[in-house]
């Protein structure tokens, strides 16, 4: 286990104190009739306490139980919009690549803020301001499409897009059609090659591990002039991190990411050879937090260095999501210099869900 | 802990993704196996043409000599496991490790290892069988003059992918000849059985084979798909569901369930007692785990009598400790799987038309626990109704159904069958069997279905999978 400096411990404590303040502010916002959303106001009516009185800090969020993502399936989606924001233009984003009635999250500006925070952590040398981007991955009804575009614009660039429909990919996997899957992957990668070759100002790429592998089979991205790659999705693990850095894109700034529509976008701890390719992610606290907990007792946080299930909490004015049990597990990581709060390392699918979820989609 | 690396173009590589293999009996870790991510495999496959060229440059006679030497090394030498860690493996280590993670008794591991050694030792004979006697130099020159005819073959693949099973090490004898045919290998070993392919590769390399000809990639389902998609020719072993996606791809040779059977003609059925040894060997040899093992006995008469006698014979095979020289049954690495299989059989038995004749002979049940391991005891089912779902069931232990069917309905009734041993002297019936396209290997002889001759094709001929005969003229006719 890492030993953190006392100075870092102090900063972590400060973060913690300001987090409690942020929690109080958010609870007040979401549970006040003037500002809160119909969903949370109705939720509060069924409680035998007033959250605004009882919740004094982060630890008190436990009394609300765990957010259930099933609540996000189906409509009306406007019940999630805080009254104070009701006249703003709304976006609705769907999560993941699953089929059936999708889970939806309404958004106003959160996705832009989240990607700006992430963008501020990118290197100006390898993700140059003014450079253009290629986004090769799932677009459609997902947050990702507009978010990457906003990130590119925020850094002065334009984003080109090639879409991959993860729902079709899942269907092909379920139907046992690897040849069709390969054909679809080639179709996607071929379009990306055309765009890359036609637009030399593209220096930055967002894509998924599988598509990056496929792209690198066809083109040397270093020679193509790519300097920064921002990569996320299933299969982003220690081995892929090493493989990407050593073989696929050596010399290119490779930035793994973890995120979803329900939280913001987590940033990786800056690459350090001493970490042996382990990827540690830090959420954009206080807007979002990770807790790594005992899978059999979600109220019990595991020790640093121990593996547990990931609980996500999102605390913005647009969205309140207390302690949602993610489908992922990971190792609780110590605060670091750049991000003085808890992170998560060695993420993987929660073991008990492994048999029921199609992974490796994109 | 012992680590088994990937072999990337022959070079050992330690992955950050590993699978731990546990001891079937103790549950203790035996080894860590590096796992390849699928992109790593496709990246390496870009180099197979060069790897093939290295093999191409070596005269086939020299490769045959390498195979002979490798046979000896396989059976005797200390061979490397992880050169970085300096670990090695003796032949006895190999047998013990193989037994410990697959649950196959040591005695059966030894018999299977001998099959592997035999094929390497006799590679020339195996090649002769697969090429039907074409001069092996055709592999060096691309053509030979045989009986005053020019005979030319073109190689169709720069590599052979092999997605292998864990059930029985004998199957490895099927892909080794590819190397003698100058086609490098890209192996995905079975999840519990990296041992045999790894040792075969190490023996061949120690005997002089270029290391880059032997790619070894333990991996997941995605990686296996990558191998099958990216190699010019491949083979896949697995159950019906595993192979289903590949049956329409002519580049992939399918080794699915065997549904092998012993079939009696009306003439021999009354004499079933004379064949009981053959039938019981066919069902139970090698722990009943191979696609070659009979899962059905079909006969026009006397079925029930044979079934009762077979049940008595097989029920006498006890579960024994894996180290016991007399052990003939394999343990299930995951005990829950054994229980689920047994429950499945019991559920199917609820459908009228089938009765477990072994059940009354062992009141303690089909699942046995001996020496800390879980076994399924041999099971013989009598089918009143030959269309009962159990008639098309093949399981990973000695399991067979016996059915009575009129001789003229028998061939159609057995459906797709890998090996048929037909016991009949009826010439007309023999001819019908000869012409039945639903039968792959046919024994018109007193040969158990589980015993095969390595110089005969198996579920397709490897030489024909890798080479195509082509028209060739190399001189202007006089």
Q: Are residues B168 and B202 in the same domain?
A: yes
What tens digit of pLDDT does each residue of B423-447 get? 999 999 999 999 999 999 999 999 9
Say what the pLDDT of residue A351 is.
77
Q: Are residues B249 and B264 in the same domain?
A: no
At A349, the pLDDT band (50, 70, 90 cuts) reads: confident
What tens digit of pLDDT does each residue of B190-229 get? 999 999 999 999 999 999 999 999 999 999 999 999 999 9
For B227, the closest chain A residue by CA position comes to A178
Average pLDDT value for residue range A148-173: 94
Does residue B146 belong to any structural domain of this protein? yes
Last residue of a domain, one of B256, B281, B308: B256
* Among candidate residues B299, B290, B158, B138, the one with its CA nearest the CA of residue B233: B158
What tens digit of pLDDT does each residue of A46-56 get? 999 999 999 99
> Mutate which of A172, A174, A178 to test chain B, going by most B C-beta atoms within 10 A?
A178
Say what the pLDDT of residue A143 is.
87
Last residue of a domain, one of B221, B256, B291: B256
Q: Are residues B248 and B268 in the same domain?
A: no
Kindly tell me if the per-residue pLDDT of A360 is higher than 50: no
Average pLDDT value for residue range B88-102: 97
C-alpha to C-alpha distances, B184 to B157, B213, B337, nearest whole angstrom: 9, 4, 35
- Name, in order, each residue with C-beta under 8 angstroms of B346's C-beta and a sequence gap of 6 or more: none
Say what the pLDDT of residue A348 is.
86
CB-CB neighbours of B446 under 10 Å: 11
Q: Check CB contact of A100 with chain B, cutoff 8 Å.
A: no
Average pLDDT value for residue range B324-333: 96
* Among candidate residues A89, A91, A117, the one with its CA nearest the CA of residue A105: A91
Q: Are residues B249 and B272 in the same domain?
A: no
Does residue B471 belong to any structural domain of this protein? no
Average pLDDT value for residue range A140-146: 86
Does residue B204 belong to any structural domain of this protein? yes
Measure in Å the smallest separation between the Cα of B16 and chain A Cα atoms: 5
Say what the pLDDT of residue A96 is.
61
Chain-wide mean pLDDT for chain B? 95
How big is the A-B interface in CB pairs under 8 Å? 51
Give the burial class of B49: count Cβ atoms within 10 A of its Cβ; 0-12 exposed, 13-18 middle, 19 or more buried.
exposed
Give the DSSP H/E element, type plus range, for residue B68: helix B60-76
Average pLDDT value for residue range B324-350: 96
Task: Give the Cα separation of B306 and B317 in Å (integer).
Answer: 17
Could A239 and B38 be called an inter-chain contact, meaning their C-beta atoms sit closer than 8 Å? Answer: no
Q: Check CB contact of A251 with chain B, cutoff 8 Å.
A: no
Does residue B126 belong to any structural domain of this protein? yes
**Structure-token pair, residue A306:** 């121990």
Nearest to B16 among A176, A210, A242 (CB): A242
The domain that holds B156 is classified in CATH as 3.40.605.10
The domain that holds B269 is classified in CATH as 3.40.309.10
What tens digit of pLDDT does each residue of B157-199 get? 999 999 999 988 989 999 999 999 999 999 999 999 999 999 9
Nearest to B222 among A212, A242, A360 (CB): A360
Q: Check CB contact of A176 with chain B, cutoff 8 Å.
A: yes
Average pLDDT value for residue range B230-256: 94
Task: Give the Cα separation of B73 and B200 in Å (integer).
Answer: 9
Chain-wide mean pLDDT for chain A? 91
Q: Are residues B183 and B279 in the same domain?
A: no
Q: Are residues B238 and B265 in the same domain?
A: no
Task: Give the Cα separation of A76 and A87 in Å (integer).
Answer: 16
| Residues of chain B positioned with their CB less than 8 A from the CB of A248 | 39, 43
Say what the pLDDT of residue B246 is.
96
B59: DSSP letter: -
Q: Check CB contact of A210 with chain B, cutoff 8 Å.
A: yes
Whether the bond between A76 and the residue before it is cis, its omega within 30 degrees of 0, is yes
Kindly tell me if the per-residue pLDDT of A354 is higher than 90: no
Average pLDDT value for residue range B322-335: 96
Task: Give the Cα separation of A221 and A254 in Å (integer).
Answer: 12
Does residue B80 belong to any structural domain of this protein? yes
Kindly tell me if the per-residue pLDDT of B456 is higher than 90: no
At A361, the pLDDT band (50, 70, 90 cuts) reads: very low
Kindly tell me if the per-residue pLDDT of A95 is higher than 80: no
Last residue of a domain, one of B201, B224, B256: B256
Structural domain of residue B55, as residue ranges? Answer: 2-256
Say what the pLDDT of residue B147 is.
87
Does residue B465 belong to any structural domain of this protein? no
Does residue B469 belong to any structural domain of this protein? no
| Residues of chain A positioned with their CB less than 8 A from the CB of B37 | 213, 235, 239-240, 243
Could A239 and B35 be called an inter-chain contact, meaning their C-beta atoms sit closer than 8 Å? Answer: yes
Nearest to A243 among B39, B245, B246 (CB): B39
Say what the pLDDT of residue B148 is.
87
Q: Are residues B399 and B361 in the same domain?
A: yes
Nearest 10 degrees: Cα torsion A107, A108, A109, A111: 10
Average pLDDT value for residue range B280-290: 93
Kindly tell me if the per-residue pLDDT of A362 is higher than 70: no
What tens digit of pLDDT does each residue of B230-239 get? 999 999 999 8
| Residues of chain A positioned with their CB less than 8 A from the CB of B243 | none
- Name, in order, each residue with C-beta under 8 angstroms of A279's C-beta and a sequence gap of 6 or more: A236, A237, A238, A241, A256, A268, A269, A345, A346, A347
Say what the pLDDT of residue A357 is.
47
Q: Check CB contact of A75 with chain B, cutoff 8 Å.
A: no
ipTM here: 0.89
Do the beta carbons of residue B348 and residue B393 sit within 8 Å? yes
User: Into how many domains does chain B fold?
Assistant: 2
Nearest to B40 among A243, A277, A360 (CB): A243
Q: Are residues B213 and B197 in the same domain?
A: yes
Average pLDDT value for residue range B115-119: 95
Could B16 and A239 be called an inter-chain contact, meaning their C-beta atoms sit closer than 8 Å? Answer: yes
Does residue B367 belong to any structural domain of this protein? yes
At B335, the pLDDT band (50, 70, 90 cuts) reads: very high
Q: Please report the domains of chain A, with CATH numbers, ordered by start residue.
A: 109-259 (3.40.50.12780)
Q: Are residues B241 and B379 in the same domain?
A: no
Rg over CA atoms, chain A: 21
Nearest to A178 among B15, B16, B229 (CB): B229
Average pLDDT value for residue range B57-80: 98
Sign of CA dihedral B34, B38, B40, B46: positive
Kind of pairing between the strands at B260-264 and B417-423: parallel
Kindly tell me if the per-residue pLDDT of A263 is higher than 90: no
Average pLDDT value for residue range B245-272: 95
Q: Are residues B75 and B177 in the same domain?
A: yes
Q: Name residue, tokens 């004998």.
A: B170
Q: Are residues B179 and B278 in the same domain?
A: no
Q: Are residues B175 and B305 in the same domain?
A: no
């Amino acid at each position: 286990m890492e030993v953190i400096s006392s100075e870092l411990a102090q900063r972590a404590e400060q973060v913690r104190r300001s987090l409690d303040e942020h929690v109080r502010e958010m609870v007040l916002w979401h549970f006040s009739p003037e500002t809160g959303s119909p969903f949370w106001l109705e939720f509060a009516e069924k409680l035998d306490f007033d959250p605004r009185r009882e919740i004094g800090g982060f630890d008190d969020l436990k009394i609300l139980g765990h957010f259930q993502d099933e609540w996000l399936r189906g409509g009306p989606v406007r019940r999630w919009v805080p009254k104070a924001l009701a006249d703003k233009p709304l976006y609705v984003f769907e999560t993941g690549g699953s089929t059936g009635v999708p889970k939806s999250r309404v958004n106003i500006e959160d996705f832009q803020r989240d990607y700006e925070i992430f963008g501020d952590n990118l290197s100006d040398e390898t993700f140059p301001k003014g450079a253009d981007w290629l986004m090769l991955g799932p677009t459609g009804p997902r947050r990702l499409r507009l978010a990457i575009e906003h990130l590119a614009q925020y850094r002065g660039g334009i984003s080109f897009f090639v879409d991959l429909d993860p729902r079709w990919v899942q269907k092909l996997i379920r139907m046992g059609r690897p040849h069709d899957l390969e054909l679809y992957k080639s179709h996607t990668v071929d379009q990306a090659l055309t765009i890359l070759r036609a637009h030399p100002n593209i220096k930055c790429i967002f894509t998924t591990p599988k598509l990056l592998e496929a792209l690198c089979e066809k083109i040397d991205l270093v020679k193509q002039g790519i300097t920064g790659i921002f990569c996320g999705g299933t299969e982003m693990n220690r081995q892929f991190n090493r493989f990407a850095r050593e073989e696929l894109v050596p010399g290119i700034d490779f930035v793994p990411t973890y995120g979803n529509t329900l939280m913001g976008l987590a940033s990786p701890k800056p690459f350090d050879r001493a970490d042996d390719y382990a990827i540690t992610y830090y959420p954009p606290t206080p807007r979002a937090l990770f807790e790594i907990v005992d899978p059999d007792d979600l109220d019990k946080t595991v020790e640093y260095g121990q593996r547990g299930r990931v609980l996500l909490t999102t605390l913005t004015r647009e969205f309140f999501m207390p302690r949602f049990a993610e489908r992922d597990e990971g190792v609780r990581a110590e605060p670091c210099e750049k991000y003085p709060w808890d992170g998560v390392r060695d993420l993987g699918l929660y073991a008990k869900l492994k048999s029921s979820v199609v992974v490796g989609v994109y | 802990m012992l680590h088994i690396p990937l072999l990337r173009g022959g070079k050992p590589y330690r992955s950050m993704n590993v699978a731990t293999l546990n001891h079937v009996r103790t549950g203790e870790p035996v080894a860590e196996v590096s796992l390849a991510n699928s992109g790593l495999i496709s990246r390496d496959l870009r180099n197979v043409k060069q790897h093939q060229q290295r093999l191409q440059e070596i005269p086939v006679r020299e490769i045959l000599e390498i195979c002979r030497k490798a046979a000896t090394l396989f059976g005797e030498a200390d061979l490397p496991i992880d050169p970085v860690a300096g670990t090695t493996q003796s032949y006895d280590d190999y047998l013990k490790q193989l037994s410990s993670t697959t649950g196959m008794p040591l005695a059966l591991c030894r018999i299977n290892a001998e099959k592997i050694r035999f094929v390497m030792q006799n590679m020339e004979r195996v090649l002769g069988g697969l090429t039907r006697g074409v001069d092996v130099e055709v592999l060096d020159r691309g053509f030979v003059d045989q009986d005053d005819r020019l005979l030319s073959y073109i190689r169709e693949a720069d590599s052979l992918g092999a997605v292998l099973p864990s059930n029985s090490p004998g199957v490895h004898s099927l892909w080794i000849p590819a190397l003698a045919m100058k086609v490098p290998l890209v192996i995905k070993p079975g999840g519990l059985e990296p041992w045999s392919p790894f040792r075969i590769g190490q023996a061949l390399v120690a005997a002089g084979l270029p290391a880059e000809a032997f790619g070894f990639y333990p991996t997941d389902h995605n990686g296996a798909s990558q191998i099958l998609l990216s190699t010019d020719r491949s083979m896949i072993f697995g159950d019906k569901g595993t192979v289903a996606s590949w049956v329409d791809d002519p580049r992939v040779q399918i080794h699915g369930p065997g549904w092998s059977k012993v079939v009696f003609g009306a003439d021999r059925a009354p004499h079933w007692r004379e064949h009981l040894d053959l039938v019981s060997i066919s069902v139970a040899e090698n722990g009943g785990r191979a696609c070659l093992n009979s899962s059905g006995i079909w006969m026009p008469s006397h079925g029930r009598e044979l079934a009762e006698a077979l049940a008595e014979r097989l029920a006498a095979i006890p579960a024994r400790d894996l180290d016991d020289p007399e052990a003939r049954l394999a343990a299930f690495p995951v005990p829950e799987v054994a229980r689920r299989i047994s429950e499945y059989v019991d559920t199917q038995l609820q459908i009228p038309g089938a009765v477990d004749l072994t059940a009354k002979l062992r009141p303690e049940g089909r699942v046995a626990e001996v020496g800390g391991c879980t076994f399924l005891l041999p099971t013989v089912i009598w089918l009143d109704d030959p269309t009962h779902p159990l008639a098309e069931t093949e399981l990973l232990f000695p399991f067979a159904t016996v059915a009575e069917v009129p001789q003229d309905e028998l061939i159609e009734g057995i459906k797709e069958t890998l090996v048929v041993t037909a016991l009949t002297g009826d010439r007309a019936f023999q001819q019908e069997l000869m012409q039945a396209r639903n039968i792959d290997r046919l024994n018109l002889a007193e040969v158990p279905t589980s015993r095969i001759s390595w110089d005969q094709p198996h579920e397709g001929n490897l030489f024909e999978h890798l080479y195509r005969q082509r028209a060739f003229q190399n001189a202007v006719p006089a």
